[in-house]
A and B are shown apart, each in its own frame.
Chain A
Amino acid sequence: MAKRKASVSIRECVACGCCIKVCPRNAITVPHGIHAVIDRELCIGCGKCAKECPASIISLEVTEE
C-alpha cells in the first residue's frame, strides 16, 4: 500500500528544529546541527512537520512499502 513519509530537502534545511517539537512520534532529530533527519520507520506521514517548517522544505512523499 502506498504510504506518505516526510522528506527533508537537506541542502535547504536551516536545522532550527521546529519540526522536532511538533512531531507526534518523536521521529525527527537534527544530528550535529546540520540538517533534520526523519526516521522513516517512525514517520506516519501526518504532515505536521511540513506545516511547521518555517523554510517549507519538508514535503510528503509517497512511498511504496
Chain B
Amino acid sequence: MKRKKKWYDYLWIASLTYLILGFFNILCAWLGLLCFFIPLAIAVIKGNKAYCNKYCGRGQLFSLIGGRFGLSRKKDIPGWMRSGCFRYGFLIFFFVMFFLMLWNTWLVFAGAKNLGTVVTLLWTFKLPWHWAYHGALFSDGVAQFAFGFYSVMLTSTILGFLTMVLFKPRSWCVYCPMGTMTQLICKAKNITGQPR
C-alpha cells in the first residue's frame, strides 16, 4: 500500500528555492519567517506537529538527498544529541543568537550602526554577500534583518546537512529548534487539558 503523493510532498522545492533566492536578492530572506510562524501557529491553534509531520520542506529535502540520493551514512545519532539537555540547550542557544541578530537589526534601524552586507555562517564566519543586495525598502534595517535571518537559515541548513551525512538523513529533526519548540507547546497544551 504505497502512499499517494500529495501537494505538500513537494514543499522541498520551496525550501530549495528559498536558499537559492538568497543568492540573488537578500530581501527574499524575509519569506523564511513563514517557516517560523506556520509551525508555531499550527502548534498553538491546532495543538499538533502537522508542520513537522507533513509540510516541512527542509525535512523533505534532507530525506531526498540523504535517503533517495544516499548522501548519508545512515548511522545512529549519538545518544547525547538526542538527549533533552542537548535539544533544549540548542534551542536556548538558538534563541540567544536570534535575539542578538534582532538587536543588531534594531541598531541599524536606529541608525547607530551601518548595514553589514555579510552572511554570518555558524555564528562565526562572515562571508561577503554584497552581490545579493540591491537596496533596501524603507530602511537599511530591513536589509539587515534579511542578512541576519538568511544567516540563521543557511547556518541551520549546513548543520542539518552535516548531521544528514554523518547520521540519518533527517537527523536535523532531532535537534531542530522549531521542532523542539512546537513539541514543547504541544506538551504544554496537553497538560493544561485544552481542546485536543
Contact = CB atoms under 8 A, between A and B. Distances in A.
Interface string A23-50: 0111000111110000000000000000
Contact of A32 (B87, B176, B186): B186
Contact of B1 (A18, A24, A53): A24
A26 B17 CA distance: 31
A57 B2 contact: no
B183 A15 contact: yes
A62 interface: no
B139 interface: no
Contact of B183 (A21, A24, A34): A34
Contacts of B1: 24-26
A30 B53 contact: yes
B117 interface: no
Interface residues of B, number: 37
A18 B2 CA distance: 15
Given A16-B59, A32-B190, A54 B173 contact: yes
A15 B52 CA distance: 8
Contacts of A53: 168
Nearest to B50: A33
A33 B3 contact: no
A30 to B, nearest CB: 6
Contact of B54 (A17, A24, A56): A17
Contacts of A61: none
B178 to A, nearest CB: 11
19 contacts: A14-B82, A14-B87, A15-B52, A15-B183, A15-B186, A17-B49, A18-B63, A20-B53, A21-B63, A31-B48, A31-B196, A32-B47, A33-B49, A34-B183, A34-B186, A54-B170, A54-B172, A55-B77, A56-B82
Task: List the 3 closest A-B pairs by CB distance, nearest first.
Answer: A17-B53, A33-B186, A33-B49
